[in-house]
């Protein structure tokens, strides 16, 4: 306890500062985070002692501006920190300096943690200028308790390594090299089935958002054995992190990153600042921009998997999990044309992940491009049996092998721009599909997202997976009557979990209607 006091004095908390562990952990201006990092290092150590497993701590603020930073804890199976411990995180973060030792003790007692146990913590960071100092503060918090500092990694790489470590290498080696080997090998296996691909078809423009994803794509490239030809831009050599580039910019602004020349028809994708999100796009010969967001990605992947399941004759259920931000066209297409189960959850990856776990195969994506695919243990076993079955016919066997490689190319712990990119590229290759054909699966309804600053965003309370507001009184009625004015319209509002704003979403038959509706609804929020 004396040690806690002494060490924490080197990472003092500004008196009165109050932050909350939200959907993205702690995230704010980097200047306010030193004490948070130290304390999250301590909390990760406690969590590791409690679970007797390796715990991850990732220092990043994802798609936020360079000046910001943040921190998230990763649980033993590579998943997000369990909710009860989110509360501890908030309590430790907000304890005033002289109350910290007591707050730590309280967690130890409540969780009955045996402090003599070993702890192991993996620490990772993105490329922000504040990240080295802040990750050092985390390590100080972990202090000599056997933590392992990975340095620069993407968020999903850290999740992956925590999972590999805790499953004793069953799924792969807990190193960055191991990550590349596993995912790239699976990619090479998958694309073997796509004979005579031209260099043009292998070509992909990648916007690295001037972040960690760019570094890691460079590192990975040679593992792909020329199976993908990447032109990397926004590689961090000159531009600023997430500034007029990256997945969030492209998705929200509905346009390509600034200062990028893209040729008509060229397939492009953008990562976000910690490479756990990806969106695709191209411009057509009329210069029109086409976005292929998380919904289109989920559609491509689930169609591919469903086709393989049919070919393999495997009776496994498959569901797509979305949030209220999913484009209405995607939901209709998935339900009516594709006939897959579609579920809607609250915003935030942990909600989608949890829902996806209920199916043999759960494909989950937020519209903003964060998502992955989960395969149940039973599904993996059935696929493996079929792949090894000497008596199965060629079609079945081929499908089973493709499914097997698909399982291996995916990072099941969390959405992963790099692994999603490999999967998407492989699917397009195997199906001989162009980005235009993919785009044509369904047509997005025009939509608009706005943010509204209000004095207290918490007065808005929602239900039905955030699709309806229950308070303040009258708000939902107002939205309903505005929506009625437009064709094929839908709109909802919810308080952001990561920014001090209320988000407004609207979609309608035309862009003009979607814009007008979003504007009118934001006025109703005041």
Please give the annotated binding residues for Mg(2+), written as ranges.
62, 272, 274, 276
* Cβ-based nearer residue to ligand NG1, 75 or 425: 75
* Cβ-based nearer residue to Zn ion, 68 or 276: 276
Binding footprint of Zn ion, residue count (CB under 5 A): 4
User: Looking only at residues 265 through 284 of this chain, which bind Zn ion when binding is defined by CB under 5 A?
Assistant: 272, 274, 276
120 binds, among Zn ion, ligand NG1, none (CB under 5 to 8 A by kind): none
Kindly list the distances between the CA atom of residue 370 and the CA atoms of 175, 347, 416, in Å, as whole numbers in the listed order. Answer: 23, 11, 7
Sheet with 120-125, strands from edge to edge, namely 26-29, 68-74, 54-59, 120-125, 148-152
496 binds, among Zn ion, ligand NG1, none (CB under 5 to 8 A by kind): ligand NG1
Q: Which of 48, 62, 270, 513 is catalytic?
A: 62
Which tokens go with 143? 């202090």
CA triple 323-326-332, angle to 5 deg: 115
Between CA 377 and CA 399 the distance in angstroms is 18
Active-site annotation holds for 131: no
Between CA 135 and CA 142 the distance in angstroms is 11
Task: Provide the Cα torsion 473, 453, 253, 496; round to 10°.
Answer: -60
* Cβ-based nearer residue to Zn ion, 183 or 277: 277
Question: From the CB of residue 485, how many other CB atoms can be counted at a distance below 10 Å?
Answer: 12
Between CA 176 and CA 90 the distance in angstroms is 31
Residues 245 and 270 sit within 8 Å (Cβ to Cβ)? yes
274 binds, among ligand NG1, Zn ion, none (CB under 5 to 8 A by kind): Zn ion
Min. distance of Cβ 368 from ligand NG1 in angstroms?
4
Q: Does 420 bind Zn ion (CB under 5 A)?
A: no
DSSP class of residue 221 equals G
Min. distance of Cβ 501 from ligand NG1 in angstroms?
8
Min. distance of Cβ 189 from Zn ion in angstroms?
28
Q: Does 66 bind Zn ion (CB under 5 A)?
A: no
173 binds, among Zn ion, ligand NG1, none (CB under 5 to 8 A by kind): none
Residue with tokens 């993105």: 126
Min. distance of Cβ 55 from ligand NG1 in angstroms?
20
Residues near ligand NG1 (CB under 6 A): 23-24, 62, 325, 347-348, 366, 368, 370, 496-499, 503
Min. distance of Cβ 183 from ligand NG1 in angstroms?
22
Which tokens go with 294? 């998380």
Known binding-site positions: 62, 272, 274, 276, 366-368, 494-498, 503
Among candidate residues 372, 299, 284, the one with its CA nearest the CA of residue 337: 299
Strands 26-29, 68-74: pairing kind: antiparallel
Let me know if 339 is exposed, middle or buried by CB neighbors in 10 A (0-12, 13-18, 19+).
exposed
Region of 443 please: left (phi>0), alpha (psi -120 to 50) or beta: beta
* Cβ-based nearer residue to ligand NG1, 353 or 397: 353
Q: Does 439 bind Zn ion (CB under 5 A)?
A: no
Known binding-site positions for substrate: 366-368, 494-498, 503
Q: Which stretch binds Zn ion (CB under 5 A): 28-36, 55-63, 392-400, 500-508?
A: 55-63
* Cβ-based nearer residue to ligand NG1, 360 or 420: 420
276 binds, among Zn ion, ligand NG1, none (CB under 5 to 8 A by kind): Zn ion
Min. distance of Cβ 498 from ligand NG1 in angstroms?
4
The footprint of Zn ion (CB under 5 A) covers 62, 272, 274, 276
Q: What residues are annotated to the active site? A: 62
């Amino acid at each position: 306890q004396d040690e806690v006091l002494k060490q924490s004095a080197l990472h003092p908390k500004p008196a009165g500062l109050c932050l909350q562990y939200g959907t993205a952990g702690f995230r704010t201006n980097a200047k306010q985070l030193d004490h948070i990092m130290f304390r999250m290092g301590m909390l990760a150590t406690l969590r590791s002692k409690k679970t007797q497993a390796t715990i991850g701590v990732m220092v990043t603020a994802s798609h936020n501006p360079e000046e910001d930073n943040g921190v998230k804890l990763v649980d033993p199976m590579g998943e997000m920190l369990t909710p009860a411990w989110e509360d501890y995180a908030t309590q430790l973060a907000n304890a005033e300096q002289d109350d910290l030792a007591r707050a730590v003790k309280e967690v130890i007692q409540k969780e009955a943690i045996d402090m003599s146990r070993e702890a192991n913590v993996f620490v990772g960071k993105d490329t922000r200028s504040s990240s080295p100092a802040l990750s050092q503060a985390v390590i100080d918090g972990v202090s000599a308790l056997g933590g392992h500092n990975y340095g620069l990694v993407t968020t999903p790489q850290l999740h992956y390594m925590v999972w590999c470590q805790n499953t004793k290498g069953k799924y792969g080696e807990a190193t960055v090299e191991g990550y590349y080997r596993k995912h790239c090998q699976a990619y090479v296996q998958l694309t073997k089935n796509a004979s005579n691909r031209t260099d043009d078809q292998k070509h992909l423009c990648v916007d690295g958002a001037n972040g960690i994803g760019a570094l890691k794509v460079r590192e990975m490239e040679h593992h792909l054995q020329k199976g993908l030809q990447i032109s990397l831009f926004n590689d961090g050599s000159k531009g600023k992190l997430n500034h007029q580039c990256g997945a969030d910019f492209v998705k929200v602004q509905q346009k390509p990153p600034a200062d990028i020349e893209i040729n008509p028809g060229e397939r492009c994708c953008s990562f976000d600042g910690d490479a756990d999100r990806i969106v695709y796009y191209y411009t057509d010969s009329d210069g029109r921009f086409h976005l292929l967001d998380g919904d289109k990605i989920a559609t491509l992947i689930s169609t591919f998997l469903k086709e393989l399941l049919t070919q393999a004759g495997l009776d496994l259920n498959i569901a797509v999990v979305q949030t209220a931000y999913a484009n209405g066209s995607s939901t209709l297409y998935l339900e009516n044309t594709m006939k897959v189960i579609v579920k809607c959850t609250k915003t935030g990856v942990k909600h989608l992940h949890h829902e996806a776990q209920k199916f043999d195969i759960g494909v989950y994506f937020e519209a903003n491009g964060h998502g992955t695919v989960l395969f149940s243990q039973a599904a993996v076993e059935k696929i493996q049996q079929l792949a090894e079955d000497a008596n199965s016919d060629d079609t079945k066997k081929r499908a089973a092998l493709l499914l097997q490689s698909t399982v291996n190319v995916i990072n099941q712990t969390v959405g992963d721009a790099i692994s999603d990119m490999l999967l998407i590229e492989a699917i397009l290759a195997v199906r001989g599909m162009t980005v235009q054909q993919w785009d044509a699966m369904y047509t997005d309804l025009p939509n608009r997202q706005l943010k509204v600053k209000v004095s207290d965003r918490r007065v808005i309370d929602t239900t039905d997976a955030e699709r309806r507001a229950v308070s303040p009184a009258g708000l939902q009625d107002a939205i309903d009557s505005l929506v009625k004015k437009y064709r094929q319209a839908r709109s909802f509002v919810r308080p952001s979990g990561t920014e001090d704003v209320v988000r407004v979403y609207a979609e309608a038959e035309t862009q003009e209607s979607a814009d007008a509706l979003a504007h009118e609804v934001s006025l109703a929020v005041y």
